Structure 1
């Protein structure tokens, strides 16, 4: 489908590290995959010409990963993690590596402001739809390595991910009500890492997080994820004005998880939904204002036109949001979703 353009883009990007300017995420692999997926191959190399100059080189390793548990979340070991997963994916089938590491990485879904899981979701889609080759396997290895090096839990989400049957909750998974009931941190300053550590100090955070009980079966997990992406997309229209970049991740993180489900054992679907819910809840609680505003008016367009506008805009967050909401629109048919990328384009 990509006529080699995506693989060429990966070749250029794999000379760069997963972060730059301290700890900003390298969005290049995610953005170019979305551009190619929606038929905008002609923009990829020109877009990269303008983006690559911002990036850092691939980080050097210190020593091989031996105790992986001790190395999780140690960004100083980023180079070691990249080397580790490169070797893993040369020696074992990619679905086997993903199946082994997904449950290990999932509790740290907040990694890099959720960019770890988002990059993995794009890499898995490329492999799943286009087939495997060296460039796509390398991309998955770098995505997994990034997630491992920045591994960071959402405070209070451990019981959700283990499927604790004693958690309170309703009989039905009501994502809409759960999102509406999320509290906000009082001090909304600083970066995402500063904000996440404030969540345990919010009295209503833990009960709000566990309002969504664990899914009882894979089908319920898939429905919950689909609903989560849909509702988070609508919430962007109400809250995006406050943090137009960071609130994109409340949509793109669960989208990445949803896209990865077909490549996973169905036994992993329920904890995947739990982790995605925790990620979206956290991003909402630390970035969204308490009161939303009326959704904006954006010129109506077809899905293809919506993505074309995002591609012309060129910002990586606008491109990725368009990519995500088009998936949600294809399932729901709700045209309100199609206004989100245009709104993001106005804000960013």
Structure 2
């Protein structure tokens, strides 16, 4: 993805973010607002002219911004962490912080605090931050800084750690380690209940201590999880997208973080991807051959025409990888998902 493309600095993204920021980060008490992530992804891939039309279709899924309760401060923030009632308060806190300090300084301070809780909002919290960071790295301005404040605020309010996992033997590669992730017991409904049922996960890449190696292994994980969607996405076409997009959000953020945060970021991303795999993996894979060999541009067009937010975001990740199997995974998501109408 070439963020020097003039479409990425055309002003369309800023207009779309201004529209989105009047809305809250969730609807119906839990479901994430995907609009800021999708409009960033479309703009990043040269489709800035389509963001308002897509937002018009998505508009009915937006709800008003939540009410404020009490200010979050440097002294009382631990008591507000993980409290979804405080979404507006957290957004205000990060808006103030980003007005006073460089955005990378704020991110570096809060990333290690938030990273253990990246499961919040079904991992959409860290995914939204990843999109915001990519936009800022391309061109920093007020609407993009506001988006980072909203994204970090959402993550802080929905902060949800996972503890007590039993580590199982893994495999040398990310792909093989995902293959040995045990599925949770049947009968659990909903992301939070399924997440609570995850008890055992294989370890992977625990021997990594070097930041550059951590980045290489994280890239490997994103590629493996994306490829896997083509043959396993039928297990849950929407939720299994996050096995790839959550670690990719972490990968996108690495270069904006201090290098000493790269290794723990790898470990957190692996656990999240493996947990989602455990929660939604199908009993068996299916062979998948795409109906045609399409270019990356053609795959983007199909995803945009389909319109589903998860299809667009998986396509965005697939284009980061760029190989034929990744593009096949994006096409598979088009086939498995209900279109946005």
TM-score interval for Structure 1 and Structure 2 normalised by the shorter chain: over 0.9
**Equivalent residue for 1:120?**
129
User: Unaligned 5+ residue runs, structure 1?
Assistant: 160-166
Partner residue of 1:346 out of 332, 335, 338: 335
Q: Is 1:77 the equivalent of 2:70?
A: no
1:109 alignment counterpart? 118
Cross-structure match for 1:295: 288
TM-fit CA distance, 1:214: 4.7
CA contact (8 A) 2:204 2:270 kept: no
Aligned-partner Cα distance in 1 for 2:149–2:207 = 30
| TM-fit CA distance, 1:173 | 5.0
Q: Aligned residue for 1:187?
A: 186
Q: Deviations over 1:167-226 (max 9, x none)?
A: 8978x95212211111001125311101011112xxxx14x1x24415211111111111
CA distance in structure 1 between the partners assigned to 2:79 and 2:189 by the alignment: 27
Aligned length: 328
Q: Name which of 77, 91, 95 aligns with 2:100.
A: 91
Unaligned stretches of 5+ residues in structure 2: 1-5
CA distance in 2, matches of 1:116, 1:298: 34
- Return the alpha-carbon distance in structure 2 between the equivalents of residues 21 and 168 of structure 1: 37
Distance 1:296 1:22, change over 3 A: farther
- The aligned residue for residue 10 of structure 1 is 17
Correspondent of 1:278 among 268, 271, 284: 271
How far, CA to CA, are the matches of 2:172 and 2:161 in structure 1?
A: 22
RMSD across aligned positions (CA): 1.7
Alpha-carbon distance in structure 1 between the residues aligned to 2:222 and 2:133: 18
TM-score calculated relative to the size of structure 1: 0.90
CA–CA separation in structure 1 for the residues paired with 2:294 and 2:215: 28
Aligned twin of 2:53: 46
> CA separation in 2, counterparts of 1:83 and 1:16?
14
- TM-score normalised by the chain length of structure 2: 0.92
Q: Secondary structure at the match of 2:234?
A: coil
DSSP-derived class of the 1:97 partner: helix
1:231-288 alpha-carbon deviations (Å, 9 max, x no partner):
1011101211120000001110011111101100010000111111011000000011
2: CA distance, partners of 1:308 / 1:169:
41
- Whether the 8 Å contact between 1:64 and 1:80 is mirrored in structure 2 is yes
Q: Which residue of 2 aligns with 1:60?
A: 67
2:261 to 243, 263, 268: 268
Aligned 8 A contact 1:214 1:271 in 2: no
Report the secondary structure of 1:56's partner residue: coil
Cα shift at 1:305: 1.1
* Pairing of 1:201-240 with structure 2 (within 5 A): 205-206=200-201, 208=202, 210-240=203-233
Q: What corresponds to 1:320 in structure 2?
A: 313
> 2:161 aligns to what?
153
Q: Could you tell me whether the CA contact under 8 Å between 2:33 and 2:61 is conserved in 1?
A: no
Structure-2 change in CA distance of 1:76 and 1:214 (3 Å): farther
Q: 1:137 aligns with which of 135, 145, 164?
A: 145
The 2-side partners of 1:109 and 1:258 are apart by: 14
